[in-house]
Amino acid sequence: MIITVASGKGGTGKTTIAVNLALSIGNANILDCDVEEPNVHTLLKPRKIATEDVLLPTPVVDHGKCSLCGKCGEFCEFNAIFVGKKKVVVYPEICHSCGGCRLVCPEKAIEEEGRTIGKIHQTHVKAIHLVYGELKIGEPLATPIIKAVKKQIEPKKINILDAPPGTACPVIETMEKSDFLMLVTEPTPFGLHDLAMAVDVVKQLGIPHGVVVNRAGIGDNAVQEYCKEMDIPILLEIPFDREIAEFYSRGVPFVEEMPEWKEQFLELFENAKEIMRNDS
Ligand code: SF4
Ligand code: SF4
């Protein structure tokens, strides 16, 4: 089972919800797909972490074989390979590793080499298996790292994915093949605006979904009214509470210190399962 926790914008408490849910379930995988700013590990505080590089195949030109025919440059829709008067230049940062230039080269002058674009880390905290990706600074492509993180999904276990904020490609990559999407928002005009954008994407993907309202009570009821109008179930409302905010600011998942919330998160999980069952 794959449950993705997402939000239309950053700062809604999405990661806190994902971590508290995983801790409440216990024997779960949590995969942090926010590879530009992973922070699940800052809440779970693992000790031993295994790390491996994520490599992306990148073209390398053998100038001894190249006839400067120009076919690779014509083929590349990303302008990542340029055929000059004397040599071919590859721009690895904008190469999407499609392999097309190698295929069209009539001289077989292009090989591929692995280029490190980031890392994935794996660790265990209590019964939780945590995987998180980290995009190298300056690298523009987050999706290959997200794919590498998602390779660690174990179909027989409960996998909770923490999506990047927003509604761009990395979010879609994270959401794809999910069984359920949990959209975290807050009851403010910004929260509603970004929730509506996330709902647009989710409806197009056709994945069962529900909303978690974080910091309930700080704004108005517009989010609740929107959900009613759109027929989207609100699975849980977490009030704006001083004690929860203090744990949050200290990087402590609040279910650890307020066990009554574990029940609420387990109920949230059961409600999500019920929606999935009704949808299938
Ligand atoms: S691998 Fe694809 S994206 Fe990269 S340079 Fe070749 S054609 Fe362009
Ligand atoms: S397609 Fe091959 S031979 Fe032609 S310019 Fe590119 S690398 Fe050189």
Residues 96-110: tens digit of each pLDDT: 999 999 999 999 999
Report which listed range, 114-123, 184-193, 240-249, is most confident. Answer: 114-123
**Which amino acid type is present at position 221?**
N
Give the position, in ligand 1's atom list, of the atom nearest the Cα of 91.
5
Looking up tokens 């093949």, which residue turns up? 177
Mean pLDDT value across residues 157-183: 92
Domain range summary for the chain, segments of one domain joined by +: 2-53+140-279, 63-108
Q: Which residues line ligand 1 (CB under 6 A)?
A: 59, 75-76, 78, 80-81, 95-101
Which of helix, strand or coil describes residue 126? coil
pLDDT at residue 245, rounded to an integer? 87
Q: Average pLDDT over the chain, rounded to whole?
A: 93
Reported confidence tier of residue 21, pLDDT bands at 50, 70, 90: very high
CA pair distance 131, 41, nearest whole angstrom: 9
Q: Which CATH code for domain 2-53+140-279?
A: 3.40.50.300
**Residue nearest ligand 2's atom 2 by CA:** 105
Both tokens assigned to 34: 């926010």
Reported confidence tier of residue 167, pLDDT bands at 50, 70, 90: confident
Ramachandran angles phi, psi of 7, nearest 5°: -155, 150
The answer to whether residue 8 scores a pLDDT higher than 90 is: no
pLDDT at residue 99, rounded to an integer? 96
Reported confidence tier of residue 146, pLDDT bands at 50, 70, 90: very high
pLDDT at residue 233, rounded to an integer? 94
The best mutation among 67, 95, 111 to test binding of ligand 2, ranked by most ligand atoms within 8 Å of the C-beta, falls on 67
Contact (CB, 8 A) for 230 and 263: no
Name the more confident of 279 and 186.
186
Contact (CB, 8 A) for 14 and 191: no
The answer to whether residue 61 scores a pLDDT higher than 90 is: yes
**Whether domain 63-108 has CATH 3.90.1150.10:** no
pLDDT at residue 96, rounded to an integer? 92
**Residue nearest ligand 2's atom 3 by CA:** 66
Reported confidence tier of residue 84, pLDDT bands at 50, 70, 90: very high
The answer to whether residue 141 scores a pLDDT higher than 90 is: no
pLDDT at residue 249, rounded to an integer? 86
Looking up tokens 């302008």, which residue turns up? 79
Mean pLDDT value across residues 27-34: 96
Q: How far is the CA of 112 from the centre of ligand 2 (A)?
A: 14
Structure pTM? Answer: 0.89
